[in-house]
Structure 1
């Protein structure tokens, strides 16, 4: 189960990273985000995803403890 969750999270993080880079709209000079802004947005999204993963793992651990 842990391996499945880990694969899903890495897949989701990869998808979000690609989606964030595609939305950058190259060619629009005044509105184009800087590399630092893109990296900050990706870091924030990664922290959000990892926080959700931790919460899900804690919930799963509690559920498993109840069933024992």
Structure 2
């Protein structure tokens, strides 16, 4: 349980999946994503905000489904 809590909080804080995979000893980031992707509700938000900024649009709010 402690491992899952650590991984979920680390991802929610914005740590790289690649880095977390190394820390957890996973064979690849894909394994990490298979287990913990649901803890990343804001994924894609940075890219959307960057494009909005380039286009002079107000930043869209990204919400979790």
Say whether the fold is shared (TM-score over 0.5): no
Name the structure with the higher helix share.
Answer: 1
Largest Rg, 1 or 2: 1
Q: TM-score, normalised by structure 2?
A: 0.28
